[in-house]
A = this chain, B = another copy of it.
Amino acid sequence: MATMHDVAKLAGVSVSTVSYALTGARPVSEKTRARVQVAMDELGYQPNAIARSLASRRTRIIAMLFPSIERGLSGTALEFVTAAAETARERGYHLVLWPIGDDEVGETRALIHQHLADGVLVMEVRLDDPRVGLLRESRTPFTLIGRTADSEALDYADIDFEATVRDALEHIVGLGHRHIALLSHSKTSHDAGYGPTVRVGEAFSRYMAEHGLGTVIYHCDDSADAGRAAVNELFDTNPEITALVTMNDSATLGAVAELLESGRRIPDDISVLSIVSSPRVGALSHPRLTTMSAPGPELGRLGVTSLIDRIESGDRAILHELVPCRLDLQATTGVPPDRAPYRRPRTANPS
């Protein structure tokens, strides 16, 4: 529990010299710097983070603001968190978890006014998110993980849903599929303006419309059971469907299980492509899922890096980073039944 005072006394210099030797905020002669170093080593001195924060008005703490939604943090959110914590540490910052409950506004305000954090990482962003206004007004540096509806002037790192859906559908349509359904997150999440649900839905509809194909979107809770129920209903009402694009890990695995159980073959009868997922999740299924993996670690690193840059020099360019999911081709996508790839639908029976 040695303090700067002790170090200064032992080294025979003033406290300010010790401080400057430590931070390098002003030049110190090599001789005295060495003396200070020796004294610090001898006493096992470590600067007190709190005192430093009070005096410098910088805490080197980043708060991760996450709403405690029904399912907690998702699997990919975990990868995000560890990558973010790691990156923060590398730059000498700490990451504190700031769960917020029902009183989003009040708790966000508390975070801001307590001056505990130099910057904020906003998780689970919705299209119209009340936290954003508060943070702007308070002039607290922040980066969105996700995007609001209008985030032109805001720093964000998000998944490029547009590109992801395009890549997904190019793969599926390229195989010859024409009747494709989207199995998405819950209707509730869509109505709440949850970015991934809304954006993927829109991108899907747009792509299908542009290619003269019909749009079937099925919303489904995040559970294998819901996924099982979903496919039953889906193929009851839309028996012509030959491919499923899914964005819902739990439901996807349930759906695959149910399809197999009901006698359908994958991918011979039905193709399945799971987006915003990961090969690790895909490997849990049999046959192994073709997935497009969410860039959780990249987003974690990007978000923290940009946030710290902004904290340390407010004038940097705005971060608008969109990272697409990467395709990992596995066993659940193939050509549709009774039809060779690239042929037009509704054609006469091939001889």
Binding site for B on A (CB under 8 A): 44, 46-51, 53-54, 59, 61, 68, 72-73, 75, 77-79, 81-82, 85-86, 89, 94-99, 110, 113-116, 223-225, 250, 253-254, 256-258, 260-261, 280, 283-286, 288
Contacts and interface: CB of A to CB of B under 8 A. Distances in A.
Nearest to A112: B46
Nearest to A86: B99
Given A225-B283, A284-B284, A78 B72 contact: yes
Contacts of A280: 223-224, 250
A103 to B, nearest CB: 12
Nearest to A46: B113
21 contacts: A46-B113, A48-B115, A49-B116, A50-B54, A50-B59, A50-B116, A72-B82, A73-B81, A73-B82, A75-B75, A77-B78, A85-B97, A95-B96, A96-B96, A96-B97, A224-B283, A224-B284, A225-B283, A253-B285, A254-B284, A260-B286
A35 to B, nearest CB: 21
Given A61-B96, A116-B94, A51 B48 contact: no
B86 A68 contact: yes
A187 to B, nearest CB: 21
Contacts of A46: 110, 113-114
Given A260-B286, A286-B261, A114 B81 contact: no
A38 to B, nearest CB: 18
A89 B258 CA distance: 41
Nearest to A2: B113
A284 B253 contact: yes
Contacts of A116: 49-50, 94
A121 to B, nearest CB: 12
Contacts of A260: 286
Given A99-B89, A115-B50, A73 B78 contact: yes
Nearest to A44: B113
A51 B54 contact: yes
A223 B288 CA distance: 12
Contacts of A59: 50
A59 B49 CA distance: 10
Most B Cβ at <10 Å: residue of A50, A85, A261, A288: A50
A258 B94 CA distance: 43
A253 B78 CA distance: 20
A73 B86 CA distance: 12
Contacts of A286: 256-258, 260-261
A49 B98 contact: no
A94 B64 CA distance: 11
Contact of A82 (B51, B99, B110, B254): B99
Nearest to A249: B284
A277 to B, nearest CB: 12
B99 A85 contact: yes
Given A224-B288, A257-B285, 16 more contacts: A49-B114, A49-B116, A50-B53, A50-B54, A50-B59, A61-B96, A68-B82, A73-B81, A77-B78, A86-B99, A94-B98, A94-B116, A224-B280, A250-B283, A250-B284, A253-B284
